[in-house]
A and B are shown apart, each in its own frame.
Chain A
Amino acid sequence: EVQLLESGGGLVQPGGSLRLSCAASGFTFSSYAIIWVRQAPGKGLEWVSTMGVSFRNTYYADSVKGRFTISRDNSKNTVYLQMDSLRVDDTATYYCAKGRVSGWDGGDRWGQGTLVTVSS
């Protein structure tokens, strides 16, 4: 069974850092893209970042560019989202999702999400 499990969320002060993990199982991890999407409380979905199958294929929303870094460790079937210089408006539930193919085309599986709260 395909599963994605996010972890690493929590409470952090503005300017701080967190590293989110998306641990995958049930499929050939190295062959699929993984994305991060976030949802601020009571708001809609916002695409954050995409990790393609190649380590060079990384993409970011303007709102996080230069502060967040996505990476993957195929030996651990895990994608990471390193979040630095966190701001109050980064507060959200962060979801990872698996692409249907090597790129993103709507995906087919989502994790349950991890909550990040940025507050002093």
Chain B
Amino acid sequence: DTEVTQTPKHLVMGMTNKKSLKCEQHMGHRAMYWYKQKAKKPPELMFVYSYEKLSINESVPSRFSPECPNSSLLNLHLHALQPEDSALYLCASSQGWRGNSYGYTFGSGTRLTVV
């Protein structure tokens, strides 16, 4: 299995809703990432998990809450979002070992619309 699987593919949520995005990989990768991508813009890094521990938070608002229950699964919990949070949310994974460089594998993303 060489894929990163993201669910759901599309999500519409109200500003008072709570929802979660899910990301799964079975490549044995030990680093996992959340990116946000607005239309016509490059992806922006949000969070990095390394060996199931949060290692980087790029000053993301607390209405976004990441979780890494195990080495294969990454969640992004959403609460009280704003319409400007509407974007494509991408998950990625990589080998996660420092001192050498490996390619990242990205999922196809969750298209989120906040109404």
- Asked if A pairs with B, the answer is no
By a beta-carbon cutoff of 8 Å, the part of chain B in contact with chain A is none
By a beta-carbon cutoff of 8 Å, the part of chain A in contact with chain B is none
